Amino acid sequence: MPALGADMEAGTIIEWLVKPGDAVRRGDIIAVVDTEKATIEVEVFETGVIQNIVVGKGEKVPIGTVLALIRTDGEAVLPPTEIKPKPVAAPPPIPPRPPTPPRIEKPPLAEVPPITPHRLRVSPLAMRAALDLKVDLSTVKGTGPDGAIIKADIERAAKAAVAAPPATPAHPTAPAVEAAVTPAPSAPSAEGPKLVPPRKPTIAPADRQAAMRKAIAAAMAHSKREIPHYYLGAHIDMSRAMTWLQAENLKRMVTERLLYSVLLLKAVALAVREIPEMNGFWTDGAFKPGAAIHVGVAISLRQGGLIAPAIHDVDKKSLDQIMVNLRDLVKRVRAGVLRSSEIADATITVTSLGEQGVEAVFGIIYPPQVALVGFGKIAERPWAFNGMIGARPVAMASLAADHRASDGHRGALFLAAIDRLLQEPEKL
C-alpha cells in the first residue's frame, strides 16, 4: 500500500485492474485505492508478471503492506506464498504464554480501539425522523448542542427539499460521488488508454468531506507546529507576460488556449532549478532535494476542502503540455480520481487565489515539502518604471518557506528569479 500523502495511514482496495498472470509495465495502473482524501489509481513501478494478489478488494490495510507480488523477468515461478495482509486496527498477535502457577494478578488492560471522531452528531430522534422523511443527513446543518442535528433540523431540511425538489435528488448518497464513477481519462500507457470500470464509492460524501477536513487539519497543524515558516513577498510586473499570452492565445484554437497559471507554474519550476533548496522534502531532520521538479497545484473542491496533486517534471515540459496536464488534473480532482504518483510526490506547491480577488497568499507549507509559492490577483496598478508612472498588470508573488531548509536570502533570490523569468515569457 503506497503512502499517497504525508498524512495517510491506511487505504482500502476498491478495485484490482489486474489479475495473477497479467503482464504489467512500469507506469501501468494496477489498482484503485480509496484514502481519506480521494480515490487514487495505483501505478506499478516494476515490470513483470503479477504472481498473486495479497490484499483483496474491499480490504483496508496500513501503508507499507504488500498488496501483490510481481515476478520480474528471469525470476522463477514461485508457489503462491503465504503472505497475509495485516488488517487495520487488529491488535498484534499475542504469543501464547507459558502456563504460570495461579496467582493474583492485576487484570490486564484491554485493547481499546481508537475513537473515530468524525461521526455525524445526530440525536436518536432526529435519526428516526431522517429515515421517515427521507432526509440525507449529510445535507443537514445541526443547531442542537455542539452542532448536533436535532429533529427540528430534519423537519426544516425536509421542508426545504419539498420547496426545491429538483435541486436535491431523493437518494442521499448519489450526487457528488456519482461523478467520480465516470471512467478516468486516458492513462498514458503503451497499449493505449485503459478505462477504469465504473465503481461504487465506498465512502459517503459527507464522510469523505469530514475525513478530508480531518486530513487537512492534521497536515496543516503538523506543518504549523513543526515547520519554522518564513514569508517573503514581491510585486511582479505581469505586463510582458500578459501581453505575450494574449498574443499567443489569439493564434490558438479556443480549446488550446493557455491560462496564465501555466506561465506561473513554469516560471516557478525554472526558478527552482536555480534555487534547489525550495524543491524537495524535509525528512528525518535533514533536507533531501527533490530528484525532479514536480509542482503541486492546490485545487479547491466544490464541496469544500482542497487537494494539491503534482504535475510532473514541469521544468522540462512545454507550456502546452503543462496546460494539458493542468486541465486534466483539475477535471480528475473534481471527479475524485487521482493517481498515486500525483498525490504523493509533489516537491513544491503553488497556490493561486487570485481569481478570488485576494492580493497576497500567506501559505502553509504542505509537509514534508519545504516551500509554497502563492500568487494573488493580477490587477492594474500604478507602476513606476524608468522614472515614469504607468498602469500595469501586477501580481504579488509570495513565498512560504521552511527556514530549516533555506534562508531568507535564498528565498529572495528565488522570488527574484520567478520575476525575471516572467519578464521573458516567450522563453518559458
Partner 1 sequence: MTATAKTVRITYREAMRQAIREALLRDPRVFLMGEDVGRYGGCYAVSKGLLEEFGPERIRDTPLSESAFVGAGIGAAMGGMRPIVEIMTVNFSLLALDQIVNNAATILHMSGGQFNIPVVIRMTTGAGRQLAAQHSHSLEGWYAHIPGIKVLAPATLEDARGMLWTALEDPDPVLIFEHGMLYNMEGELAADAGAVGIDKAAVRRSGTDVSLITYGGTLGKTLQAAEELARAGINAEVVDLRTLRPLDSETILESVTRTHRTVIIDEGWRSGSISAEISARIMEGAFYELDVPVARICSAEAPTPYAKHLEEAAVPRVSTIVETVTGMVGARG
| Residue 120 near partner 1 by CB under 8 A | no
Question: E strand or H helix at 163, and its extent?
Answer: helix 151-163
| Residue 156 near partner 1 by CB under 8 A | yes
Give the interface segment with partner 1, choosing from 73-81, 120-128, 309-317, 417-425 (CB under 8 A): 120-128
DSSP for 377-400? --EEEEEEETTEEEEEEEEEEEEE
| Residue 153 near partner 1 by CB under 8 A | yes
Give the interface segment with partner 1, choosing from 146-154, 241-249, 258-266, 292-300 (CB under 8 A): 146-154
Residue 317 identity (one-letter amino acid): K
Nearer residue to partner 1 within complex by CB, 148 or 218 = 148
Give the interface segment with partner 1, choosing from 21-29, 144-152, 311-319, 365-373 (CB under 8 A): 144-152
Measured CA angle at 200 (ends 83, 41), to 5 deg: 55
Candidate list 20, 85, 144, 172; residue touching partner 1; CB under 8 A: 144
| Residue 157 near partner 1 by CB under 8 A | no
Nearer residue to partner 1 within complex by CB, 68 or 154 = 154
Residue 230 DSSP one-character state: E
Cα 49 from Cα 56, distance rounded (Å): 18
Q: How many residues does the chain have?
A: 428
Burial class (CB in 10 A: 0-12, 13-18, 19+), 129: buried
Residue pair 67/32 in contact (Cβ under 8 Å)? The answer is no
| Residue 124 near partner 1 by CB under 8 A | yes
How many of the chain's residues bind partner 1 (CB under 8 A)? 15
Place of cell 477504469: 196
Residue pair 14/21 in contact (Cβ under 8 Å)? The answer is no
Cα 37 from Cα 53, distance rounded (Å): 24
Candidate list 128, 224, 316, 331; residue touching partner 1; CB under 8 A: 128
Residue 397, beta-bridge partner list: 234, 375
Q: How far is CA 219 from CA 203, 225, 307, in A?
A: 21, 10, 12
As measured in angstroms, the least distance from the Cβ of 159 to partner 1 is 12
List binders of partner 1 among 323-352 (CB under 8 A).
none
Rg (CA), the chain: 25
| Residue 143 near partner 1 by CB under 8 A | yes
As measured in angstroms, the least distance from the Cβ of 156 to partner 1 is 7
Nearer residue to partner 1 within complex by CB, 125 or 221 = 125
As measured in angstroms, the least distance from the Cβ of 122 to partner 1 is 10
Candidate list 66, 148, 324, 358; residue touching partner 1; CB under 8 A: 148
Cα 59 from Cα 92, distance rounded (Å): 18
Candidate list 150, 278, 371, 422; residue touching partner 1; CB under 8 A: 150
As measured in angstroms, the least distance from the Cβ of 153 to partner 1 is 7
| Residue 152 near partner 1 by CB under 8 A | yes
Which positions lie near partner 1, rule CB under 8 A? 123-128, 143-145, 148, 150-153, 156
